[in-house]
Amino acid sequence: MRDALRRLGPAWAALLALFATIVVAGLMLVAGGYDAGLAGGALVAGAVGSREALLSVTMVRSVPLILTGLAVALAFRAGVWNIGAEGQLYAGAVAGAWVGLSGGDLPAWVLVPAVLGASAGAGMMWALVPTVMKLRLGVGEVITTLLMNFVGINLAAYAVHGPLQEARGVFPQTDPIAAGARLPALFPGTRLHVGFLIAVALAVALWALLRWTRAGFVLRSVGAAPGAARVAGRMDARRTVWVAFLTSGALAGLAGGVEVSGVTFALYEGLSPGWGYTAIAVALLAGLHPGVVVVTGILFGALEGGAGSMQRVAGIPATWVIAVEALVILSVLAVDQLRRRVVRGGVHG
Amino acid sequence: MTQSFPARLHGITKRFGSVEALRGADLEVHAGEVHGVLGENGAGKTTLLNVLAGMLPPDAGVVEIGGEERVLRSPRDAWHAGVGMVHQHFTLVPTLSVLENLALGLRSAAWRLRLPLADISARVDELSRRTGLGVPLDVNVEHLGVGDRQRVEILKALLREPRVLVLDEPTAVLAPSEVQNLFGLLRDLADGGRAVVLVAHKLDEILGVAHRVTVLRRGRTVLAAHRSEVDAPELIRAMVGSAETDPIAVGAWKDDGTPMPRVPGEVVATLARARVWDGRGSWALDDATLDVRRGEVVGVAGVEGNGQHELALVLSGRSVPTEGSATVPDGVGFIPQDRTLEGLVGDFDLTSNVALGLHRDARFASGPGGMLVRWSALRAQTRDLLARFDVKAAGPGVRAATLSGGNQQRLVVARELEMARDLLVAENPTRGLDVAAAAFVHGELQRLGQADQPPGVVLISTDLDEVLALSHRIFVMVRGRLTSVPDGARSREGVGALMLAANHA
């Protein structure tokens, strides 16, 4: 058992964590008096049971999860505990919607990049505040990014109640964005949009950056062991934190812009059901590996996509999925601790 | 004569992997006395105290407390036996008040929903009156200075009424005036019948407070005496040992004391009146002026904590002086004293660890602006270094944390020599290594001088033997100041006398 655990690679560790989650979640369902088998079946059917479910529900949901998951993974790799993807996503959504609304009849090749660029920029600005507070004032980013989430969520609420509210002035939402500001569908007749390709391309790019470039190596070193990075590597940790933090914010902001531009075509309150928080589970389960974030992003997309069907068929509240997401985080951390303890024991023994 | 000691350790042995920290050490603690434990770095002082406090189980040897043989499996066992420890690193909760911290772990506080803070407060007041240890109880620990925090730690220990109070380097974090207060307190505690055991790096501190001293050297007790029976030179001799024990292969100097021939090279690094502020009210490095030339080994001896680390960081280009100037070359290698914190990334594989620093080297870069890392070339380089420096590892892909301490150090030395085209700075490069690994490091430092275009070497070490054997020129470092050692004083006694003189200057 000890040897097996010691040799456990990251992929197996993730699978073990997933297995533990399924077992505990099943026990919780049974304890709650539900039919766990029925619930699981409904969840799977709702998530991947048909082409429609897979392409229009699961994959569509996975896009913001992959993008925010990448944001979290990048920051965590650099030792920056950015818990603020949710707020950065909202900042990006507001900026993207604003550009999309004021686009008029500009062509798509101008407007789409403008929307996505504005959302990424806004996410970056949202991360700028905690970055400056961390590097200039020494304030921990866990608190500041978390608090900035509330500001971001309420910024979006203010926008749709005030300056960006629809012309009719009835609902707290914006008018539909310009036709040229919308991302094209990937397959005709489904809701899956080009944003998925953008997310996958960014995942590959980040993977290559971390794996093959000098900057990526510096980022991983600073995150893994700041002392060794500074002394042995003569690396500039502050600069690395700057770049990683702001890029992380940009990725999360992009998630908001892509959602507005690809799915909702409008901004409204409650645009995100907490993707920026789920992103932490997505990133941790992926072992902070950008390529794997695509897989875990789709997995969580399926979980959220299947939740509705589970509610209809087995009568289990869809919010129960949130508990499962929390379980994933706990399981990942537990497996990680277990591995560490065993490995450490091995070195001294 | 059978005498009952409050605490007695006999023949204690303790190994960590391949390192023998203690090799049959003894310690006899007398009631009503302050007992100073002396020794160079790595002599085993902290390990011995940890054995006494139940933190580490010894591999062999006898622990007697109050005349009874005991097996201490945990600090809790030691507490029950009457041994309390004040740690080098504080164990207080910053966000709790002083009183709450004092209540933590008290038996009377266990299993209660509400802490009996009023009771504890009364006891603390009474204890404060007796000992003169005054600390505000309602303030959160995070708002206290280090001196006050330490008083809280001591109060915490005293609340459990230990017969033996153990302090591991209590003066390391204190300002001079606080040190005097602490020593007054320790004396008072001893006068009250307790036994106090402490480790301190600075000899004059121990001499000022201790009734009795024990000197450790390389894991053995080499001297145990009443303070009145020994003087400073004798203690220094005991600490650094005599030439007969553990000789180091002689490098820079011949047996008759004349320097080995060497070609004086150009100057590769210069310090001009460099000073580094310590942030606590004094200069950690004070007015250092130094030229280092190619092919020479400049040795810097001194007791830990006299500014050596700051000197190393400045010379290796890791930090800039607060005042004065430092000119250091690009091709500088640095062997830091803490290889696990500053030398290696334990979670990275060996190739990535070799890449630390070398990632900037043009040989391992490709693509536009050299932005890509040539991992294949680095892997080949790592394989080559593992073979040349005889690092015992399964291959370049294993994690650095899985290597033994000696092999980790070989890896660091290998990498830094690769980097040291112009200058190598080594800070306690053999600390914690076994004899074979230490000999390897010494050999590499000596071999460096035989290269066609040798780098200059600065060897900063608390191991006097090492400095004496390997250096062409020697400096003593005391309170941030560098003092040149004249050739006539190149001996343990000579250097020791210089240290003392500088200390009292």
Total residues belonging to chain A: 349
Calpha distance A117→B379 (Å, rounded): 39
Nearest CB to A228 within list B317, B344, B372: B344
pLDDT at A347: 34
Range 318-337 of B in CB contact (< 8 A) with A: 318, 334, 336
Q: In this structure, how many other beta carbons lie within 10 angstroms of the beta carbon of residue B41?
A: 17
Q: Hey, are the CB atoms on B359 and A233 less than 8 Å from each other? A: yes
Mean local confidence (pLDDT), B348-377: 93
pLDDT at B137: 86
pLDDT at B145: 76
pLDDT at A242: 96
Residues of A in contact with B373 (CB under 8 A): 212-214, 217
**What are the residue ranges in chain A where pLDDT is below 50?**
344-349
Q: Hey, are the CB atoms on B341 and A225 less than 8 Å from each other? A: yes
pLDDT at B438: 80
Contact A70, A275 (CB under 8 A): no
pLDDT at B305: 76
Q: What is the DSSP letter of B84?
A: E
The residues, ordered by sequence, that sit 6+ positions from B229 with a Cβ below 8 Å of its Cβ are none
pLDDT at A343: 53
Q: Tell me, rounded to whole angstroms, the distance of Cα A22 from its chain centroid.
A: 21
Interface contact B262, partner A, CB < 8 A: no
- By the 10 Å C-beta count (0-12 exposed, 13-18 middle, 19+ buried), A169 is classed as exposed
Calpha distance A244→B455 (Å, rounded): 37
Interface contact A205, partner B, CB < 8 A: no
Is residue B1 scored above 60 in pLDDT? Answer: no
Interface contact A345, partner B, CB < 8 A: no
Calpha distance B283→B289 (Å, rounded): 14
Q: How confident is the model at residue B146 (pLDDT cuts 50, 70, 90)?
A: confident
- For chain B, what is the mean pLDDT? 84
Q: Which DSSP helix (H) or strand (E) runs through B46?
A: helix B45-52
Residues of B in contact with A228 (CB under 8 A): 341-345, 356
Total residues belonging to chain B: 505
Calpha distance B213→B194 (Å, rounded): 16
Q: How confident is the model at residue B247 (pLDDT cuts 50, 70, 90)?
A: very low
Q: What is the pLDDT of residues B287-307, one digit of tens each?
A: 999 999 988 899 999 877 788
Is residue B462 scored above 50 in pLDDT? Answer: yes
Nearest CB to A232 within list B17, B343, B373: B343
Contact B424, B418 (CB under 8 A): no
Measured between CA atoms, the residue of chain B closest to residue A223 is B345
Q: Which residues pair with B8 in a beta bridge?
A: B28, B64
Contact B146, B114 (CB under 8 A): no
Calpha distance B136→B102 (Å, rounded): 12
Is residue B323 scored above 90 in pLDDT? Answer: yes
pLDDT at B124: 87
Measured between CA atoms, the residue of chain B closest to residue A227 is B342
Number of H helices, E strands in chain A: 15, 0
Calpha distance B247→A201 (Å, rounded): 62
Measured between CA atoms, the residue of chain A closest to residue B344 is A228
The residues, ordered by sequence, that sit 6+ positions from A343 with a Cβ below 8 Å of its Cβ are A6, B401, B402
Q: Hey, are the CB atoms on A225 and B346 less than 8 Å from each other? A: yes
The residues, ordered by sequence, that sit 6+ positions from B60 with a Cβ below 8 Å of its Cβ are B11, B12, B13
Tell me which of A206-210, B47-51, B144-148 is least confident.
Answer: B144-148
Å between B177 CA and nearest CA of chain A: 30
Interface contact A228, partner B, CB < 8 A: yes
Of B291, B317, B229, give the one whose Cα is nearest residue B482: B291
pLDDT at B197: 94
Mean local confidence (pLDDT), B356-380: 92
Calpha distance B430→A48 (Å, rounded): 60
Å between A207 CA and nearest CA of chain B: 13
pLDDT at A110: 93
| CA atoms within 13 Å, Cβ hemisphere of A43 | 23
Contact B305, B460 (CB under 8 A): no
Mean local confidence (pLDDT), B448-466: 85
Say what percent of chain B tops pLDDT 90: 32
Q: How confident is the model at residue B329 (pLDDT cuts 50, 70, 90)?
A: very high
Q: What is the pLDDT of residues B356-367, one digit of tens each?
A: 999 988 899 998
Q: Hey, are the CB atoms on A214 and B373 less than 8 Å from each other? A: yes
Q: Hey, are the CB atoms on B346 and A231 less than 8 Å from each other? A: no
Mean local confidence (pLDDT), B445-461: 86
Is residue B433 scored above 60 in pLDDT? Answer: yes
Tell me the ipTM for this assembly: 0.87
Calpha distance B319→B326 (Å, rounded): 10
Residues of B in contact with A213 (CB under 8 A): 371-373
**Max CA distance (Å), chain A:** 72
